[in-house]
Amino acid sequence: MAEFPIREIRDPQVLRALTHPVRLRLLDEMVLSGTATATELAERIGESPANCSWHLRQLARYGFVEEAGGGSGRQRPWRIVPEGTTFGADDQADPELARAGDAAGEMFLSQEVDALRGWWHSRRQEPSEWRQVSFVTQVVSWLTIEELGELRDKVVEAMKPYLDRIGDEGSHPAGSRPIRLMAWGVPARPFSPDPSSE
C-alpha cells in the first residue's frame, strides 16, 4: 500500500475555493463514482454542465482535480487528485484562516451528517448483509491528552489500507461499494480549569 498523501491548506483563499457547496458535491460524486465529464456530473448533482465545468476548472486551479485525458470542452473527463486535506494548524496566528477553517469545518461536518442521515432513513431498503455490517457507534469515556492522541492515530491507521482505492476505479474489489468512514473524538464538555489542580 502506497502512503496516502496529505495536503495541509494554509491559504484561506484555497480553503474557500475548496468549500464551495457545488465543488464539494462535485468532489463527493467523483470520489463515489470516479472519472466523469462535466456533463455527467451535472446530471448527477442537478447543476448545469456549464456551471460544473467552471467549478471543475476552479478545483483544478487549486490542484483538487485534474483532466483525465481525452475529450474536449464539457466532454473532457476529470478525475479527483487522491489526497487527504488538513487545515487550521496556523489558525491561531491567522484570523482569516481561522474564519475560513471554521466555515470549511461546518460544511464538511454538515455534508457527512447529511450522508449519515440519508443512510439511516434508507437503510431498510438495503440488503440485510450490508445492514448487518454497517455501524454507527458511540461512547463517552475519560481519556488523557496522550490517550486521545493514541486513539486518533489508531483510527487513522485502521483507515489507511483502504485509502489508495480513492481515484483508482481499477483497485475496487469485486462486490465493494463506496463506504463513508468518519470518526471523531472530541471533549464532551467545554474546557474548564480543574479547581483541584490549583
> pLDDT for 154-189, tens place per residue?
998 998 888 888 878 888 999 999 999 888 888 988
Compute the mean pLDDT over every residue in the chain, rounded to the nearest whole number: 89
Instruction: State the Cα–Cα distance between residues 64 and 9, nearest whole angstrom.
Output: 12
Given a cut of 60, whether residue 56 has pLDDT beyond it is: yes
More confident: 196 or 7? 7
**What is the DSSP secondary structure assignment for residue 91, as one 8-state letter?**
T
From the list 82, 81, 68, the residue with the least C-alpha distance to 40 is 68
69 Rama sector, left if φ>0, alpha if ψ -120 to 50, beta otherwise: left
Q: Which residues pair with 65 in a beta bridge?
A: 80
Determine the average pLDDT of the residues in 36-43: 95
The pTM for the full model equals 0.81
pLDDT, tens only, 85-119? 888 765 677 888 888 888 898 999 999 999 999 99
Name the least confident of 22-26, 71-75, 76-80.
71-75
pLDDT, residue 98, reads 87
**3-state SS class at 80:** strand
pLDDT, tens only, 116-152? 999 999 999 999 999 999 998 889 999 999 999 999 9
pLDDT, residue 183, reads 87
Given a cut of 90, whether residue 59 has pLDDT beyond it is: yes
Instruction: State the Cα–Cα distance between residues 34 and 36, nearest whole angstrom.
Output: 6
Q: Strands of 36-37's sheet, edge to edge? A: 36-37, 77-80, 65-67
Written as nine digits, the cell of 97 is 484562516
Q: Which residues of 149-173 are buried (b: 16+ CB within 10 A; e: fewer)?
A: eeeeeeeeeeeeeebebbbeeeeee
**What is the DSSP secondary structure assignment for residue 76, as one 8-state letter?**
S
pLDDT, residue 90, reads 58
Strands 77-80 and 84-87: unpaired
What domains sit in the chain, N to C, each tagged with a CATH number?
A: 6-197 (1.10.10.10)
At 131, which amino acid appears? Answer: R
